[in-house]
């Protein structure tokens, strides 16, 4: 259980962040101020806000756990980010600023027709509304299990305060609270890294620790294998991920809305470049926290399973005897690995034969421990019926609650809340903007006062926040829904980017062509996802190509013919 000091810190954070966001209401009394911050936000605030949105609680909990088991390979995913940002700085950023739009999808009607705009905006609303729920549910599930909290209340504690300050403060509240939340998140990550390093034996220095991690491949970043079925390689990061990032930052309203709020095109560009070049070091810090958790548990006791709920169920169920035997083997394997790790850390790398012998012994002991853990995970899957069960998402919260000192635990949990809230607030603001601009003002009431649109916008933000909380509760209880949302999202990111490429780069493209291309692109991606083993990142390339081909062909057939 958490100490009362940690509870106090979490409570103070939640109250302060809501108050801080709501007080910005005075800057949002007209529609442009509410949706775009009066187009007067400084570049550094936008840049930090964009990074805070990306650094969700899923990143803090899931990516650290992924690095604990797999190392630094995930960093390759971000290698294409600077390239994507440079492309956007030259193309869509100045383009949208000159168009003076509220949403990215407004331009599609000017270029094509209303049905293309509406379909694209509807896809954004559907996917972002559901993914917003997932952003709430993913950390809520972990926190409720690790701390014994009520799941529904945990979802509401994350979602409702965010909805309140976003509803009243608009983009101003989102951006400025993101800046403060980003400071807290980085502090929590740095504090975690320092605590992990200090938790290593006195005889194990930084160089020794990194060499030990390197023997397991956890420091290997580059994988130059060109394999379309591999998710994270150098080539998927430099090619496929570029398409994803251009689509996400260039056509997703939750990101476009940020640089539309900048004071000028140059400041919008600078904010994106800031995000591009600081995101990789920040992601490296997140992954290093995961790698050092692996190192920490090499020299300190660790549980066989990091999910206490599943552990207790197996321990008290029909498989209790088999689990007890696994625990005995795990304890023996853990002691053997710790001894091998100490020997490897003490070995002299310049003594090639002795070093290699120690490294081999350590790798064998690590494989033996992983084998026992694998059997324990299989036992949980068999007893629970959850074939996708894994406990890597529980590694970081377990470390936080069992190792960090009182006070710092509360700060790190507050940072996990901050990471979730920064992502949710951006999505709620974008959902409200697209709802009002692309549908309400377009089809229901074209002319009204700013006061009227502000009231409706705040109502829309609140309703989307409530919708996200409901989705979060059901997503938490039906874990497969998270996979459904992710699969659905993979269907259209590349296809939406393809529509914008058609709009800007293909002069003869028509509305019918763009609409058919969008539908055809999603259908093509769905076929590839269903019947091939091509990795997710490459689906974005498939979507863009399919939209360009189908959209161009239909446009050639449907474009008006010149008079004879």
CATH number at residue 413: 1.20.1730.10
479 or 308, which is more confident?
A: 308
Last residue of a domain, one of 432, 460, 477: 477
The verdict on residue 554 lying in a domain is no
Are 111 and 259 in a shared domain? Answer: yes
Q: Give SS3 for 368.
A: helix
Is 257 domain-assigned? yes
Give residue 553's pLDDT. 95
Domain boundary among 388, 416, 432: 388
C-alpha dist (Å) from residue 266 to 36, 90, 117: 17, 11, 27
Same domain, 370 and 420: no
Handedness of CA 58, 183, 128, 43 (dihedral sign): negative
Asked if pLDDT for residue 145 goes beyond 90, the answer is no
Residue 240 sits in the same domain as residue 163? yes
Looking at residue 482, its pLDDT comes to 44
Percentage of the chain exceeding pLDDT 90: 40
d(CA 129, CA 106): 19
Is residue 208 assigned to a domain?
A: yes
**Average pLDDT of the segment spanning 181-204:** 93
The H-assigned helical ranges of 199-229 are 206-215
Residue 446 located in a structural domain: yes
Average pLDDT over residues 224-253: 87
Q: What pLDDT score does 564 carry? A: 44
**Domain assignment present for 499:** no
Shared domain check, 333 and 251: no
How high is the pLDDT of residue 381? 86
- Do 19 and 135 fall into the same domain? yes
Domain holding 371, by residue range, is 311-388
Q: Are residues 248 and 323 in the same domain?
A: no
Euclidean distance between the first and final Cα of the chain, in Å? 82
Residue 506 lies in a domain: no
Percent of the chain surpassing pLDDT 70 = 95
Average pLDDT over residues 189-208: 92
Res 175: pLDDT? 86
The better pLDDT of the pair 364, 92 is held by 364
254 lies in the same domain as 322? no
Based on the fold, state whether residues 248 and 384 are members of the same structural domain. Answer: no
> How many domains does the chain divide into?
2
Question: Does 252 lie in the same domain as 188?
Answer: yes
Q: Is residue 472 part of a domain?
A: yes
- Pairwise CA distance, residues 471 & 163, whole Å: 14
pLDDT beyond 60 at 483: no
Please indicate, yes or no, whether residues 293 and 332 belong to a single structural domain of this protein. Answer: no
- Local structure of residue 62 (DSSP, 8 states): I
pTM for the model stands at: 0.88
Q: Is residue 563 part of a domain?
A: no
| Residues of the chain by 3-state class (helix, strand, coil), percent to 5 | 80, 0, 20
End residue of a domain, out of 425, 450, 477 = 477
Confidence of residue 77 (pLDDT cuts 50, 70, 90): confident
Q: How many CB atoms lie within 10 A of CB 424?
A: 30
**Is 227 found in the same domain as 135?**
yes
Instruction: Please check whether residue 124 is in contact with residue 379, taking contact to mean a CB–CB distance below 8 angstroms.
Output: no
Confidence of residue 563 (pLDDT cuts 50, 70, 90): very low
Average pLDDT rounded to a whole number, residues 229-254:
87
Whether 382 and 411 share a structural domain: no
């Amino acid at each position: 259980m958490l100490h009362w000091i940690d509870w106090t810190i979490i409570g103070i954070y939640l109250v302060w962040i809501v108050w801080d966001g709501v007080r910005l209401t005075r800057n949002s009394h007209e529609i442009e101020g509410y949706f775009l911050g009066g187009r007067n936000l400084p570049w550094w605030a936008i840049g930090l806000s964009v990074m805070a949105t990306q650094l969700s609680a899923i990143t803090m909990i899931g990516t650290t756990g992924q690095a604990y088991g797999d190392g630094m390979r995930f960093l390759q995913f971000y290698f294409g980010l600077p390239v994507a940002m440079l492309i956007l700085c030259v193309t869509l950023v100045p383009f949208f600023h000159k168009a003076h739009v509220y949403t990215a999808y407004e331009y599609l009607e000017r270029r094509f027709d209303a049905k293309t705009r509406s379909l694209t905006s509807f896809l954004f609303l559907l996917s972002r509304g559901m993914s917003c729920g997932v952003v709430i549910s993913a950390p809520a599930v972990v926190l409720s299990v690790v701390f014994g909290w009520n799941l529904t209340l945990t979802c509401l504690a994350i979602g409702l305060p965010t909805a309140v300050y976003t509803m009243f403060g608009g983009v101003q509240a989102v951006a400025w609270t993101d800046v403060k939340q980003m400071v807290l998140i980085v502090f929590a990550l740095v504090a975690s890294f320092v605590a992990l390093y200090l938790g290593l034996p006195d005889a194990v220095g930084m160089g020794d620790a990194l060499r030990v991690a390197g023997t397991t491949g956890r420091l290997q970043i580059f994988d130059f294998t060109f394999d379309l079925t591999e998710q994270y390689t150098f080539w998927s990061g430099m090619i496929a991920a570029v398409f994803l990032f251009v689509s996400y930052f260039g056509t997703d309203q939750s990101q476009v809305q940020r640089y539309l709020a900048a004071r000028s095109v140059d400041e919008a560009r600078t904010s994106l470049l800031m995000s591009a070049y600081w995101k990789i070091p920040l992601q490296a810090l997140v992954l290093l926290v995961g790698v050092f958790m692996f190192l920490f548990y090499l020299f300190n006791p660790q549980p066989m399973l990091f999910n206490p709920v599943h552990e207790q169920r197996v321990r008290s169920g029909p498989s209790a005897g088999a689990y007890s035997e696994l625990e005995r083997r795990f304890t023996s394997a853990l002691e053997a690995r710790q001894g091998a790790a100490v020997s490897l850390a003490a070995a002299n790398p310049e003594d090639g034969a002795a070093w290699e012998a120690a490294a081999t012994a350590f790798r064998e002991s690590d494989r033996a421990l992983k084998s026992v853990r694998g059997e324990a995970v299989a036992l949980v899957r068999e007893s629970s019926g959850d074939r996708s069960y894994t406990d890597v998402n529980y590694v970081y919260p377990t470390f936080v609650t069992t190792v960090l000192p009182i006070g710092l635990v509360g700060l790190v949990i507050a940072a996990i809340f901050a990471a979730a809230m920064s992502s949710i607030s951006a999505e709620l603001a974008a959902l409200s903007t697209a709802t009002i601009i692309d549908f309400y003002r377009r089809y229901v009431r074209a002319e009204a006062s700013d006061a009227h649109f502000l009231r409706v916008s705040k109502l829309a933000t609140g309703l989307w926040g409530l919708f996200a909380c409901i989705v979060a509760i059901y997503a938490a209880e039906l874990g497969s829904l998270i996979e459904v949302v992710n699969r659905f999202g993979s269907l259209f990111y590349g296809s939406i980017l393809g529509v914008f490429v058609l709009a800007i780069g293909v002069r003869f493209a028509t509305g019918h062509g763009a609409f058919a291309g969008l539908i055809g692109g999603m259908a093509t991606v769905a076929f590839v996802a269903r019947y091939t083993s091509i990795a997710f990142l490459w689906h974005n390339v498939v979507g863009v190509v399919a939209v360009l081909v189908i959209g161009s062909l239909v446009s050639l057939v449907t474009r008006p013919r010149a008079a004879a």
